Chains A and B, each alone.
Chain A
């Protein structure tokens, strides 16, 4: 190996079960493709040689109409059925990719030109490097504060866009410790190609140590409680309020009936919309008096507020 050139990387680590299954499917489709290409190539080569202009080969064509119909339908249907197998296999993986397991460790992600900001449930923050524990499902709750970004970890074979104005999820369970590339995969401007860093997988014990060292004054929910007062939310939603505003205790995860008769799941995106687009899902029976906080609360603060609202037990009036 030329010492001037860096070692080329020709294999990817399989950091998760998803990655392992992914590689099998990729391999199977590659085999299918190679067989297909070879078959076409051999047919072309065979016809090209046998029926070249100067060859004396017999040209009387005895294929009847019926055999043509059979030929045309079989070379349409057989590949299609084979493809459906791949469709189903890939579809199953896609469904699994989209459904984070309950109880996953939730880490908040905000993309901005040109960095990734991560915040752990205990409030620990980091930029461009993400520490996660080994063997535990991790769910990234992502948004962007400017343009669209996309969080991509090749070793996990997954990516998901971080989109301004909404929350998207990406989950994985890492099964080997180590340091792995983390990129932005959606073009986002000048420094797009350097917007990224590392995913660092640690043993759970090391992760706890890291969390302790990273230190923080307040957990996400704790910081959210302070913001809840700072932005005046407690004035209407608080225990002593006389304003007719919905109670937020135990709200998260329930189904809410809106004024226009729809039923909406109260997830992160719902609470975010209630703060930034109050008219969108107004709760049935409440007057439209919620002020619009769009552009007045940063993405980081929104995440803290949501964490706080989420932490409220049923019946509690903050």
Chain B
């Protein structure tokens, strides 16, 4: 469709080297993206295995496989791994790494060696957490609430805390790398308002990464100091304040929710335009709403503490700010929906994931309003309602988009098409399996089933069984891509430059891209999403 290669195509990044060294020590952003893809997939299945065991155990109100302690360790490791070793690095470190330089017309990120270092730091951090799991586990919950985590837990808190602490450096370095890259390496003509919205949203994510993660590091360091050296920060026996911990933790962890969900917004804008073959509706509104979310995200942490002895007036302020942050998110949903209008909509697997995302994210967002409403939160907080709410956002939202992105850019990353029909089936299974898993949890929460309960009153069993049934569908649906995507690496149709007929610089270079991405620096003369694509915008050669 687009500019034909004039001479023999340059070697792709995959064929650039065949040794282990060429993969593990390459500073190529695309190779590092693949390293991340493989490593977070491993973590996803470790966290997923924990989730599977949890849902299996909850089939019975009295438990039948695990002890209370084993159950507590399972949900802790599920949370720690899924949050810090899957969700936070998921879209930014794989697709962000792979696509940002290409989308802005650059050869690589601004600091390629730092990028490689981030991956090694990430793996090093992961070793600590896996070690904590293997030597006996942690029983604090992923939130590490003090003084339980510092003075009372008999799990291996320190290795887990150290692992999360180290992983923070990887996050910060990646965020920094993206910010500098977007500022400094845009191709000639690629102005800020010609950037694909993917770049805007990952840019907003990076700001949050760089600003919030240091607070997590500080907090974890204080946990370490109190647990190991008995310095009193949080335990009142030592003169500390346990609510201080919650303020510090959520000052990081609420923005971290946006580290997890803004990249999903990034993917959405690409998918909705590519499969509607239409210019995005409200480009600037979407771009600025990403920044608004990144900023407001820092001002709502107190809504986690409505019943933790926080002053009522402080609670009301955090409540109204939390309602406010719903607005930019809603705006995005409206704009994506309006993008379909007057387009040429097709329903390939990535689009099904995107539409599924809208459905699940909207439910997740609306139920977020219930828990942001102070008077309602005093009943719903710390129950399954909250569990269902944030899984709708992070799993229904982010993981759906992650799979959408995986299918959409798979041909670009590997040069092969995935088989379409299994992709569509998996997209539908994930949507319906997800609804079946988490809808009953809203009802459970409303009925008053507290979270982190190994044993529960027998009247909750029916809803728990429904939820576990949904989880078994999800387990199949999340595993299936592993097989058909692996199959496609060898037997998939060759993808060509632009299998989707999509706009964007990444679709104008070969699949898989050559090591240097572009033979010559592209000059951008068009706005983002110039649909319909005739006349085809062509990368012109630069005089430099």
Q: Which residues of A contact B (CB under 8 A)?
A: 5-10, 12, 22, 25-26, 29, 32-33, 36-37, 40-41, 43-44, 47-48, 51-53, 57, 59-61, 68, 71-72, 75-76, 79-80, 83-84, 86-87, 89-95, 97-98, 113, 146-148, 150, 152, 154-155, 157-161, 163-166, 168, 181, 183-194, 277, 294-295
Contacts and interface: CB of A to CB of B under 8 A. Distances in A.
B347 to A, nearest CB: 8
B254 interface: no
Interface string B326-340: 110011011101101
Nearest to B63: A193
A33 B355 CA distance: 18
B334 A75 contact: yes
Given A47-B341, A146-B152, A187-B141, A95 B450 contact: no
Given A8-B462, A52-B346, A79-B330, A166 B382 contact: no
A184 B307 CA distance: 13
A6 B461 contact: yes
Interface of B: 61, 68-69, 72, 139, 141, 145, 147-148, 152-153, 235-237, 239, 241-243, 276-277, 282, 285, 306-309, 312, 315-316, 319-320, 323-324, 326-327, 330-331, 333-335, 337-338, 340-347, 355, 358-359, 362-363, 366-367, 369-370, 373-379, 381-383, 443, 446-448, 450-463
Contacts of A94: 306, 312, 315-316, 319, 374-375, 378
Contacts, number: 245
Given A51-B276, A294-B237, A90 B375 contact: yes
A148 B459 contact: no
Contact of B378 (A57, A68, A97, A163): A97
A190 B341 contact: no
Nearest to A95: B312
27 contacts: A6-B61, A6-B461, A10-B443, A33-B367, A37-B359, A41-B359, A48-B340, A59-B343, A72-B331, A72-B335, A76-B331, A87-B319, A87-B373, A90-B319, A90-B375, A91-B319, A95-B312, A146-B152, A150-B382, A164-B237, A164-B242, A166-B309, A183-B450, A186-B382, A188-B148, A189-B153, A192-B454
| Chain B contact residues, majority secondary structure | helix
Given A93-B374, A190-B69, A163 B316 contact: no
A53 B363 CA distance: 28
Contact of A36 (B239, B323, B366): B366
Contact of A152 (B236, B333, B382, B454): B382
B275 to A, nearest CB: 9
B331 A47 contact: no
B307 A87 contact: no
Contacts of A75: 330-331, 334
Contacts of A155: 448
A187 to B, nearest CB: 4
Contacts of A57: 342
Contacts of B346: 52-53
B459 A152 contact: no
